[in-house]
Amino acid sequence: MLIGILSDSHGQHNLVGAALRFFDSLGVEYVVHCGDVGGSVVLDHLVGRRCAFVWGNMDAVDGRLRSYLETVDLPLPPKPPLRLELDGKTVVVFHGHERGMHRAVRTSEADYILHGHTHVARDERIGTVRVINPGALHRAWPKTVAILNTSTDCVTFYAADERSGTFAPWMCSR
């Protein structure tokens, strides 16, 4: 299964749209946004997709945003961690600023822990857990997203060309 991972878009809806079109071109089956979404303009791009997301420390979640989620049939994310079962793998999602993230890594209760927050791409194995940060689509150089292939256990990071709205391979690891 191909899982598209993005984070820290901070309202950069055009770049999020380009990333999702890129994911579609590669056959991504599920999308995870690791927080600091930046509002409904970004969430609009997730409508109708198999996806999940968490709020980040910069997301202002108010009644209006909660109502918006109900009208577009996107689930209100639970308080992190968000736990997903995808392709027989346990995927746990944090934004990255939560205290419980480091404990979750140490307890090895997941195959993958996805997070954002730092705006820095990361792929690290800690014991039996693989910790992945896709980087960021705002205030990062390069601006990156990632695709996890659960069948091959390969993570590929892609860098954005903001002018053309295209993405190119930047780093791949197993």
Least-confidence region, from 19-28, 40-49, 68-77:
68-77
Residues of the chain with pLDDT > 70, as a percent, come to: 100
Exposed / middle / buried, residue 163 (Cβ in 10 Å: 0-12, 13-18, 19+): exposed
Q: What is the pLDDT of residues 96-106, one digit of tens each?
A: 999 888 888 88
pLDDT at 58: 95
pLDDT at 75: 87
pLDDT band at 8 (very low <50, low <70, confident <90, very high): very high
Whole-prediction pTM: 0.96
Average pLDDT of the chain is 95
Alpha-carbon distance 75 to 77, whole Å? 6
pLDDT at 108: 75
**Domain of residue 147, CATH code:** 3.60.21.10
Alpha-carbon distance 38 to 117, whole Å? 13
Sign of the dihedral defined by the CA atoms of residues 107, 108, 110, 113, in that order: positive
Residues of the chain with pLDDT > 90, as a percent, come to: 86
pLDDT higher than 80, residue 172 = no
pLDDT higher than 90, residue 53 = yes
Query: What's the structural domain count of the chain?
Result: 1
pLDDT at 105: 85
pLDDT higher than 80, residue 173 = no
| Gyration radius from the chain CA atoms | 15
Q: What is the pLDDT of residues 112-168, one digit of tens each?
A: 999 999 999 999 999 999 999 999 999 999 999 999 999 999 999 999 999 999 999
Could you list the residue range(s) of the whole structural domain that residue 22 is in?
2-173
